Amino acid sequence: MAQTISHRARWDADAETVYRTLVDGDYLQARLDELGGKDPALVERSVDDSGARVALRHSVDVEFLPGVIKRFTGGDLVLDRVETWTPDGSGGYRGTFEVTVRGLPGKLTGKQSLHDVEGGSESTVEGSAEVPVPFVAGKIESIVNEQVGGLLDGEDEFTRRWLADKG
């Protein structure tokens, strides 16, 4: 059975400002440099009036991984992540995300949104991890969710600092 991930963040800036930040090339590269682990990469970035598509590569050092993950990856946990965003017609944005982990079957997929709220904006991420491996699937799904949740928390903090510095 797939495990779910749910993440929310509030921002002091409006949705348009946060969106422009989240898809900005300089911001993405700086975020990867700080939080991306070994050999992070901005693999793809396309932004136009219809929305955005961003592909990123992150990693978690093997020394921080439990044995059940090491058996599959043989080394660092490498996360390949693709995000899409499109305007929702009300000043906010909706999108999707997919995270695959090299060496592990399965993936983490879901939806994301960004919209204005009183005093700023709010982003949400809702998804589920599914790893079709008998006996250890739940453990692996839990670890992937934990790693992605920690990454999202770190990205939120980085984004707050970026917005404060650039705002």
pLDDT tens digits, 6-18: 999 999 999 999 9
More confident residue, 74 or 166: 166
- By the 10 Å C-beta count (0-12 exposed, 13-18 middle, 19+ buried), 118 is classed as exposed
DSSP, collapsed to helix, strand or coil, labels residue 29 as helix
- Between CA 11 and CA 36 the distance in angstroms is 22
The pLDDT of residue 1 is: 58
| pLDDT > 70: percent of the chain | 89
90 in a domain, yes or no? yes
Assigned domain for 138 exists: yes
Based on the structure, what is the number of domains in the chain?
1
Q: 61 — phi, psi (to 5°)? A: -60, 140
The strand order across the sheet containing 93-101 reads 3-11, 120-130, 107-117, 93-101, 77-87, 51-60, 41-48
User: Is 123 within a domain?
Assistant: yes
Helix axes 15-22, 137-166, angle to 10 degrees: 110
Give pTM, 2 decimals: 0.87
Closest CA to 2 of 137, 147, 151: 137
The mean per-residue pLDDT over the stretch 108-128 comes to 95
Q: Are 78 and 113 in contact (CB under 8 A)?
A: no
pLDDT tens, position by position, 28-46: 999 999 998 888 999 999 9
In a domain, 118, yes or no: yes
Question: What average pLDDT score do residues 152-165 get?
Answer: 93
CB contact at 8 A, 99 and 79: yes
Of the candidates 158, 154, 56, the residue with the CA atom closest to the CA atom of residue 97:
56
Report the C-alpha gap between 101 and 129 in whole angstroms: 11
Is residue 9 in a domain? yes
Q: Is 145 within the bounds of a domain? A: yes
Beta-strand relationship, 3-11 and 120-130: antiparallel
The CATH number of the domain holding residue 83 is: 3.30.530.20
Beta-bridge partners for 115: 122
> Does residue 167 belong to any structural domain of this protein?
no
Q: Are 54 and 24 in contact (CB under 8 A)?
A: no
Does some domain include residue 16?
Answer: yes
Domain that holds residue 18: 3-162
Query: What mean pLDDT, rounded, does the chain reach?
Result: 88
